Structure 1
Amino acid sequence: MGNKVKWGILGNAKIGREKVIPALQKSPYCKVVAIASRDKVQVKKTARLLKIGKAYGSYEELLNDKDIEAVYIPLPNHLHVDWAIKCIAAGKHVLCEKPIGLSYTDALRLMEASAAHPKIKVMEGFMYRFHPQWIQVKRLINLNRIGELKMVQSFFSYYNADPSNIRNKVDVGGGALMDIGCYGISLSRFLFGEEPDSVMGSIERDPEMHTDKITSGMLEFPKGRAIFTCATQLMPYQRVNVMGTAGRIEIEMPFNPLPDQQTKITLYTKEGQEDMIFEAADQYTLQASAFSKAIVNDEAVPYPIQDALNNMKVIDAILESARVKREVNFPATGDKR
């Protein structure tokens, strides 16, 4: 294996075409050599447009390509686990779009497959964690710049009421919580560095599509609390506030900052306000580079598959809490980080 990991793309999804594949191609540690789709005409167009050498008309053909070392999966949510397991069986490392599966039980199958092939790297694609602005937020917390972390507040919304859109199909894992609410859960766990003890959820569903169109959740951690709202039928907006006993950090564009624009976070303390500007960065490129370096150096990936399962467990609990209209507690387990 050389310094560049050879990648295959499993699916012709928009996020792959417009964001992740170009980001992979910018990484000095990645080379995209193939893409597969069941629509061979369209995938050939994508391959020509993005200068990818091989275009396959089936996912199986791509997995049989011995030249490919790692696979990126941007398929619909209900296909994540099954195809990740098939990638592992074919000896391919896997970077899979979030959420890792449809439920904790679903994702557990992937955990078991991964454990049976310890040389294969598997990671869920929460790309925001690799952006310099989030690395700095975590650093400020660790340096006690806001005192003791007590509250994380996040909001993420867009408007999409198209019933033909994959994000609005409940049977394949559509809805606000799976699509963007998982970020609010992930970043809260990331910042507190631990798992919640209990959660509460509230859901408003679309009367026709039955997907959750507005979901709010409250996560109780041993040292603090996180509150998030996500929505697929509200005006587009995103913001995160991180509150401590001695300060606050506001993240203006927390989840999908444009890769060619600067970002800003603001630290508020009793000394005043401090704006921190970060040069343009492609968080998908940074994620791909980190994952590829783990492959090249045969090191642990930055975020193990257990982290993905822990996030899925909280998603399940939010759904259950909203269903029974009460708080859901987590039993003591051995998988707390």
Structure 2
Amino acid sequence: MTADANSSETPIRVGLLGTARITKFAILNPARTNPRVEVVAVASRSEDKAHRYAKANRISRAYAGYQALLDDSDIEVVYNPLPNNLHAEWSIRALQAGKHVLCEKPIAANAEEARAMHAAATQSGRQLIEAFHFRYHPLAARMKEIVASGELGAIRHLEAQFCVFIPGKKDIRFAYASGGGAFMDVGCYAVNVCRFLAGSEPIVKSASARLIQPQVDHWMSAELEFPGAITANVTGSLRSQIWNWRAFVQVTGEHGTLTVLNPFLPQFFHRITVESAAGRRREFVSRNPSSYACQLETLVNSVRGGVPLPTDGVDGIKTMTVIDAIYSAAGLRRRGETLQRS
């Protein structure tokens, strides 16, 4: 490695833990159009799978086992899209190996794990980023701008829903041991966007869930309360029928309402609707670059130039604290605990 290998002009070198489907969208596709990023390695528990994936995606190095990738001193950033129950273990190992980490959401199985991850990042002096990619798209900034402008008046209520359909019951997202559940997959988006727009941290007033497996929610909804008597409702579902797919956030103020359709994947489509004393209007922001591309560019700017990250380890702890409390309010165990077999 040359002396200027980590200069601001040198592409960051990324290694992939596993071959999850989301990797194509979160890393591979945006990296192809970003000259400041080079995906140099992939690791899998199966050596054959690692080599096949590397060949298919023109990645130069393939490793059998995740630790082998962490031992590669050439890699600067590790992307961790492993199952939720492995986020903390392998992110901490990567941080201790001197790597920056982009970890898929939710950052951990629970808030305790998230705190351990943040501590490892602080000790190593490396960045820990939770991959809430929507927060990096211009749509997020526009939502925040409208709320902060005062056009809606004092905020009174927020509602966010993310409801999709996952067929069958064998998907890893329905396994408690893997940190599964609706709020560990889509509900966390609803929690994060409400925290973001409220600009403060809520308490959980109540929650109810529908289960697909013992302790595993396929649908859950929770009532929150933010400082200033701001109420919120957050809902996540993995079993909503295809025709009942929902993704939105709505902010109600004393003088108006902001409704945003599809704030979580705005590159596919989105719509901003504002109703206030000035009338009713619709807005759109540019769909491209994608939320994933915006996230990757900000990651580069942070690694190379110290640009602050909105979804760092501290933000991850706050989101997981709310999610833990929601599971508790619904009478369910937080993720990451050992269940007793009956």
Supply the AA of the counterpart residue of 1:126: F
Supply the AA of the counterpart residue of 2:292: Y
Q: Secondary structure at the match of 2:201?
A: coil
Equivalent in the alignment of 1:314: 322
Q: CA RMSD in A?
A: 1.7
Note the 1:140-179 alignment, pairs <5 A. 140-179=146-185
Q: Deviations over 1:293-314 (max 9, x none)?
A: 1110134433331111011111
Structure 1 unaligned residues grouped into runs of 5+: 325-337
Residue-pair matches, total: 320
Q: Secondary structure at the match of 2:164?
A: strand
Equivalent in the alignment of 1:200: 206
Equivalent in the alignment of 1:10: 17
Q: Secondary structure at the match of 2:169?
A: coil
Equivalent in the alignment of 1:123: 129
Supply the AA of the counterpart residue of 1:212: D
Alignment partner of 1:286 is 2:291: no
Q: 2: distance between equivalents of 1:28 and 1:142?
A: 35
Asked if structure 2 preserves the Cα contact closer than 8 Å seen for 1:262 and 1:278, the reply is no
Alignment partner of 1:220 is 2:220: no
Q: 1: distance between equivalents of 2:127 and 2:223?
A: 32
- Deviation of 1:18 after TM superposition, in Å, equals 4.0
Equivalent in the alignment of 1:50: 57
Q: Secondary structure at the match of 1:268?
A: strand
Given the two structures, how large is their TM-score scaled by the length of structure 2? 0.89
Equivalent in the alignment of 2:335: none
Asked if structure 2 preserves the Cα contact closer than 8 Å seen for 1:199 and 1:317, the reply is no
Supply the AA of the counterpart residue of 2:166: N
Note the 1:10-159 alignment, pairs <5 A. 10-117=17-124, 119-159=125-165
Q: 1: distance between equivalents of 2:164 and 2:309?
A: 31
Asked if structure 2 preserves the Cα contact closer than 8 Å seen for 1:217 and 1:227, the reply is yes
Supply the AA of the counterpart residue of 1:294: S
Structure 1 pair 299–255 and aligned structure 2 pair: CA distance change class (3 A): closer
- Deviation of 1:229 after TM superposition, in Å, equals 1.1
Given the two structures, how large is their TM-score scaled by the length of structure 1? 0.90
Match of 1:239 among 229, 244, 248: 248
Q: Secondary structure at the match of 2:92?
A: helix
Supply the AA of the counterpart residue of 1:163: K
Q: 2: distance between equivalents of 1:284 and 1:254?
A: 13
Q: 2: distance between equivalents of 1:40 and 1:162?
A: 29
Supply the AA of the counterpart residue of 2:258: I
Comparing 61-70 with 19-28, greater Cα deviation is found at 19-28
Q: Secondary structure at the match of 2:98?
A: coil
Supply the AA of the counterpart residue of 1:288: L
Q: 1: distance between equivalents of 2:233 and 2:319?
A: 15
Identity, % of aligned pairs? 32
Asked if structure 2 preserves the Cα contact closer than 8 Å seen for 1:291 and 1:302, the reply is no
Q: 1: distance between equivalents of 2:295 and 2:312?
A: 13
Equivalent in the alignment of 2:274: 267
Comparing 68-77 with 57-66, greater Cα deviation is found at 57-66
Equivalent in the alignment of 1:211: 216
Q: 2: distance between equivalents of 1:115 and 1:296?
A: 17
Supply the AA of the counterpart residue of 2:316: A
Q: Deviations over 1:115-146 (max 9, x none)?
A: 222x2111111111111111101011111121
Equivalent in the alignment of 2:261: 252
- Deviation of 1:221 after TM superposition, in Å, equals 0.3
Equivalent in the alignment of 1:295: 303
